[in-house]
Amino acid sequence: MVDNEETTPKHWTEKKEKFARAMAQVGAVAMKCAEDAGYCRAGLASASNRLANDPAVVQRISELKTQEAVKVGITEAKTLADLEAERVKAMDKGDISTAVAATKLMMQYLGLLKDNVVFEDVSKVKQLSEKEAEEARRIAQIRLRDCG
């Protein structure tokens, strides 16, 4: 974002770039990142909150994380393939809890699994295909076995 003046928003600053780069690191803490970027110590809480909710900063953090993932060979397709391979391996070993965990991660990644879903209009709920219904029954049976 900072590298190309044509795509850099006018309100983008060197401090915002430093904050975004720090936040893109694993285990980043917003207040520490704001401090390291040079924001005033007295206003770190509000600055870090404001920056963490700034759409341009959030987008830049996402860009930086994506760039890093590509550098190390992490792609969406590879991640999902790896999870599926682990799920199959776990099922072959009879390790149901690991298989369910891998399935859950894939579903979360794909946006198919959300906590506390409330359907106000059940007519909009997607009807499962026969294959999807069979997979749902299989997962339910696995979970029942694990809990029982």
pLDDT tens for the chain, 148 residues long, are: 544 444 456 688 999 999 999 999 888 899 999 999 999 888 889 999 999 999 999 999 999 988 888 888 877 788 888 889 999 999 999 999 998 999 888 888 777 776 655 556 655 556 667 788 778 878 877 777 766 5
Query: For the chain, how many structural domains are there in total?
Result: 2
Same domain? 30 vs 63: yes
**Residues 113, 107 contacting (CB under 8 angstroms):** yes
Cα three-residue angle 27-12-30, rounded to 5 degrees: 20
pTM over 0.85: no
Using alpha carbons, select from 142, 135, 147, 140 the residue that is nearest to residue 91: 142
Containing structural domain, residue 23: 14-71
Unique residue bearing structure tokens 């391996």? 89
Same domain? 21 vs 66: yes
Same domain? 30 vs 66: yes
